[in-house]
Amino acid sequence: MVGYTKRLVALSTAVLFASTAISFAEAPAELVAAAKKEGTLTTIALPHDWCAYGDMVAGFKAKYGIEVNELNPDAGSGDEIEAIKANKDNKGPQAPDVIDVGFAFGPSAKSDGLTQPYKVSTWDSIPDNVKDAEGHWYGDYYGVLSFQVNTDIVKEVPKDWADLLKPEYANAVALAGDPRASNQAILAVGAAGVSTSGGAYGAAAGEAGLKYFADLNKAGNFVPVIGKSGTLAQGATPIIINWDYNALSGRDTLKGNPPVEVVVPASGVVAGVYVQAISAYAPHPNAAKLWMEYLYSDEGQLTWLKGYCHPIRFNDLVKNNKVPQELLDKLPPAAAYEKAIFPTLDEQAAAKDVITKGWDKIVGANVK
């Protein structure tokens, strides 16, 4: 998930969180027995510090007594797909049972015959527009673009994109990547465009976003440095626009030195989602299905949330009072996420084309 190919990519509509469910069954006893007989699950690209996957793996092993063979934790989505292809005829330890990939890779993996269908017990609570109708892939967690703010330096915390243009934020605002190449940074530019234009995500948002960053740069507020926790703490980039889960994890890592506030903007809230799938060639298909049952259970979903990755069933869990208050207190208000929009792949492609081609000419800031 640390590679470019595993950056968040998204899909959605305004009704993303329309479906809910109140009660869910445990994993079927016969599935548990079959998975335990297989005895092993092989995962890939699950670094333990991403979305609390370390806790997720430990919880699964403790609950079911199944060993987890973890391949290449720093792999990207493309690497995961290639691992399935390379091990079609190999039932050994290098063949992944399951994958966690950016949305674009879900439909393409299905069309290439690399996945197999499975619908978890909580299937009905996964919104329809973030899952394959046949069960070949399904959304797992998402993040939204946010402002990570060093409040030692920034005394008046910005609440929306328009605030960042104010003179008090001179030499303060940075992106978490180069908008000519980074998916996260490109989506940030588009999000600013959505906020200022009031329209949908797409080419028009890309154009509006370029104008916004040109104004930000002209005002002297934009810092052409890729923002990280280190530059935030040093004061070189006291405001960074990045994914909320990275911002929140960075806040915890800094341990109050300096103090950090994470803000979901009042408008232009743009999100992205990852998807899960089971390999069509999984050596341990029952363990893979049981893994999915665990991920999409209340327990699994809350584990992701502890790692600041909003589980796909988040609104459902909140509605049914399943999220501990102490966990909610660590997050921006739940209401902030209700405005999130999830650009389709076509919308993302249209905005990306405009932004990557127009950044140098319109904004003229060499981010590095």
CATH number at residue 127: 3.40.190.10
In a domain, 247, yes or no: yes
- Give the Cα separation of 268 and 196 in Å (integer): 8
| Residue 22: predicted pLDDT | 35
| Cα dist from 178 to 95, 365, 366, whole Å | 34, 10, 8
If asked whether residues 297 and 263 sit together in one domain, one would say: no
If asked whether residues 229 and 355 sit together in one domain, one would say: yes
In a domain, 368, yes or no: no
If asked whether residues 279 and 263 sit together in one domain, one would say: no
Structure tokens at 245: 């889960």
310-311/138-150 β-pairing: antiparallel
First to last CA, the chain: 21
| Residue 25: predicted pLDDT | 53
If asked whether residues 125 and 234 sit together in one domain, one would say: no
If asked whether residues 155 and 190 sit together in one domain, one would say: yes
If asked whether residues 347 and 261 sit together in one domain, one would say: yes
| Residue 1: predicted pLDDT | 46
| Residue 174: predicted pLDDT | 98
- Give the Cα separation of 186 and 168 in Å (integer): 25
CA-closest candidate to residue 27, choices 279, 295, 323: 295
Domain count, the chain: 2
In a domain, 44, yes or no: yes
C-beta of residue 273 within 8 angstroms of C-beta of residue 130:
yes
If asked whether residues 294 and 187 sit together in one domain, one would say: no
Residues of the chain predicted below pLDDT 70: 1-25
If asked whether residues 240 and 282 sit together in one domain, one would say: no
- Give the Cα separation of 199 and 71 in Å (integer): 42
C-alpha 275 chain-centroid distance: 10
Structure tokens at 256: 């109050």
3-state secondary structure of 225: coil
Give, for 327, the enclosing helix (H) or strand (E): helix 325-328
If asked whether residues 263 and 130 sit together in one domain, one would say: no
Q: What are residue 173's DSSP bridge partners? A: 222, 239
Phi, psi of 2 (to 5 degrees): -85, -15
Say how many residues make up the chain.
Answer: 368
If asked whether residues 358 and 233 sit together in one domain, one would say: yes
If asked whether residues 221 and 348 sit together in one domain, one would say: yes
Structural domain boundaries, residue 241: 143-269+342-363
| Cα dist from 359 to 65, 97, 135, 180, whole Å | 52, 41, 39, 7
In a domain, 59, yes or no: yes
Cβ-Cβ contacts under 8 Å for 244 (sequence gap 6 or more): 143, 144, 145, 146, 262, 264, 308, 310, 332
- Give the Cα separation of 362 and 339 in Å (integer): 29
In a domain, 289, yes or no: yes
How many CB atoms are closer than 10 A to CB 325? 7
In a domain, 337, yes or no: no
Stated pTM of the model: 0.74
| Residue 20: predicted pLDDT | 35
Left, alpha or beta for 198 (phi > 0: left; psi -120 to 50: alpha)? left
If asked whether residues 18 and 136 sit together in one domain, one would say: yes
